[in-house]
Structure 1
Amino acid sequence: MAIGPVSPSVLERYELKYLIPFSMVEPISRYVEMFCEMDYYSQISHDGFYTINSLYFETPNFFFMRNKANDTGRFSLRVRSYGDKPKAPYYFETKEKIADFSKKRRGKVPLENWSDVFLNPEALGSFDPRADKHTDYFVNLIRTYNAHPMILTQYRRRAYLSTLDDYARVTFDRQLCYREETRYNVDPNDGTMLNYDHPDTFGYPGVNVILELKCERKIPVWIVDLIRRFNLMRMGFSKFEGSMLECYSLAGVEDFARGRVPS
């Protein structure tokens, strides 16, 4: 039975990240399928992977990147869409993270002209972004920090949802791409997307897939067993940070150094 395309507007969860070679995707998937089933988008995809696009916002002085060095609290702002040819609805997402614990707020914008929320509010018609508290929260943060589009990322995901727990999720992300994008534009076809899933980005040879184990405060026994069975070692990786370092280091921006933006 396919789990429909429904995502909670607020998610609070632990996130454990691992970097693995593609050869481990199928063995881990077979194990996970004893406790989970593919989510809706994976089930309707021909190979179990579906495309996710994220337009990330940043401040003129790269405040969000700089703040990633602060484990007591950091966040990112992004507009998320799905597919190689994105269409409404679009999702305004705020992700806040403290150590391994994250809180994601998600506002739904059912308009193709989603950018009018920022560029031309008079053209929104009956849609009021203030009517949804999560959309309103996102918009207010954008204005508070004077944030603007900075980079568009794309990857392909296979996702599983637990059939035993209130919430537990396993995702495999691969084929990571990015493009410098300073317009309010989420179309991955409107410009060249560049791959950044290589050893220099990950920092480890032979790995090209991000495995994430996500759950509520109590980690399920089957996830603990998965970690032990496949000898998984924690390796942190941020798609936003990784793509920003790749993009703006290549562009010669002096503020960026390998590993961290200096404070």
Structure 2
Amino acid sequence: MEPIRKFNRFELKYLLSMEQARKLKQQIAAYMLPDQYAWDSGDYVISSLYYDSPDLQCYWEKIDGLKFRKKLRVRIYETEENITEASIVFVEIKQRYDKTIQKRRIAIPYRDAMTLCDERRLPDEYDEKDRPVMEEVLAMIEERNLQPTLITSYFRHAYTGTDYDNGLRITFDSNIRYRINDLDLASKNLGKYIVSPDRVILEIKANEKVPYWLTDLIAQNNYRLIRISKYCTGLDMENEFPRKIEVY
């Protein structure tokens, strides 16, 4: 399957209890489709290695609420097999411009991702279509002196829109953890909790607008928007000054 290298969308986030998440999954089942790449349980595991500068420029851009900001991460959608140098990962630049999320990403073997992001050079072999993103990654790393900083991992239960809601995606993230040591995606070190294990982060992702049936459900259930970054919250927890989650 040809990887999607660029896309734009906006995201809305909510913090739910396990019971609220269970109820919402039942409510949206009539409107959406289960993620086709999920395990038989409906879940899958995502681990992401985040890069930042020595003075945590990416962290502070988020905390300060800059309308234009971006960050670099290496992400893997885990399977039952152990992660190896040949495992396919995504190298992503996630950029926010005002309320719009833009992503540029490439799918390459883990060893090539480390060559690119840690050794700061192009892999020996790569798809020429990936070169623009690779060069942007290298420029960002050099400009900011980016270094491996933190890994997050969590279970994700996801749904995708039908033809009537093309581009719509809803995800439920649970068992959300982080670590600042042992920054190897292949490690089985689980790390510490970012939010309480009885809480779920709901994300609504849409290309243009959220359909009426979904906004109606959100209003009926009285969910309130939050502002949270897994990466920033992990650093806050590690430094023992967790910031209060901003609720709208």
TM-score computed with the length of structure 2 as normaliser = 0.85
Task: Please state how far the C-alpha of 1:139 moved relative to its aligned partner.
Answer: 2.5
Q: List runs of 5+ in structure 1 lacking aligned partners.
A: 200-206, 251-256
Aligned equivalents of 2:117, 2:11: Cα separation in 1: 31
- Counterpart position of 1:98: 97
Matched, 1:197 2:181: no
In the alignment, residue 226 of structure 1 is paired with which amino acid? L
- Number of matched pairs: 238
Whether the 8 Å contact between 1:150 and 1:182 is mirrored in structure 2 is: no
- Counterpart position of 1:19: 15
Matched, 1:236 2:227: yes
- The aligned runs of 1:31-42 (5 Å cut-off) are 31-42=27-38
Task: Please state how far the C-alpha of 1:128 moved relative to its aligned partner.
Answer: 6.3
SS in 1 for 2:113: coil
Change (3 A) 1:121 1:18: closer
SS in 2 for 1:114: helix
TM-score computed with the length of structure 1 as normaliser = 0.81
Aligned equivalents of 1:104, 1:31: Cα separation in 2: 29
Q: Quick one: which of 83, 91, 100 aligns to 2:78?
A: 83
SS in 2 for 1:125: coil
Whether the 8 Å contact between 2:3 and 2:107 is mirrored in structure 1 is: no
Task: Please state how far the C-alpha of 1:222 moved relative to its aligned partner.
Answer: 2.1
Whether the 8 Å contact between 2:76 and 2:90 is mirrored in structure 1 is: yes
In the alignment, residue 45 of structure 2 is paired with which amino acid? T
Matched, 1:133 2:99: no
Aligned equivalents of 1:241, 1:129: Cα separation in 2: 34
Task: Please state how far the C-alpha of 1:37 moved relative to its aligned partner.
Answer: 0.5
Higher strand share: 2
Whether the 8 Å contact between 1:89 and 1:109 is mirrored in structure 2 is: yes
Deviations 1:199-241 (A, max 9, x none): 9xxxxxxx61000111122221122122123221111111011
- The aligned runs of 1:139-154 (5 Å cut-off) are 139-154=138-153
Deviations 1:61-110 (A, max 9, x none): 11111111133212221000121633521111111123432111111113
Task: Please state how far the C-alpha of 1:181 moved relative to its aligned partner.
Answer: 3.6
Deviates more, 1:70-79 or 1:114-123: 114-123
Moved runs in structure 1, 4+ residues, more than 6 A?
none
Aligned equivalents of 2:187, 2:99: Cα separation in 1: 30
Change (3 A) 1:26 1:80: same
Aligned equivalents of 1:192, 1:221: Cα separation in 2: 39
Whether the 8 Å contact between 2:13 and 2:227 is mirrored in structure 1 is: yes
In the alignment, residue 234 of structure 2 is paired with which amino acid? S
Q: Quick one: which of 26, 39, 45 aligns to 1:30?
A: 26
- Counterpart position of 1:115: 114
In the alignment, residue 20 of structure 1 is paired with which amino acid? L
In the alignment, residue 79 of structure 1 is paired with which amino acid? V
In the alignment, residue 78 of structure 1 is paired with which amino acid? R
Task: Please state how far the C-alpha of 1:130 moved relative to its aligned partner.
Answer: 7.9
Change (3 A) 1:15 1:224: same
Whether the 8 Å contact between 1:149 and 1:181 is mirrored in structure 2 is: no
- Counterpart position of 1:157: 156
Matched, 1:208 2:199: yes
- Counterpart position of 1:168: 168
* Superposition RMSD in Å: 2.6
Whether the 8 Å contact between 1:171 and 1:211 is mirrored in structure 2 is: yes
Whether the 8 Å contact between 2:8 and 2:102 is mirrored in structure 1 is: yes
Whether the 8 Å contact between 2:3 and 2:106 is mirrored in structure 1 is: no
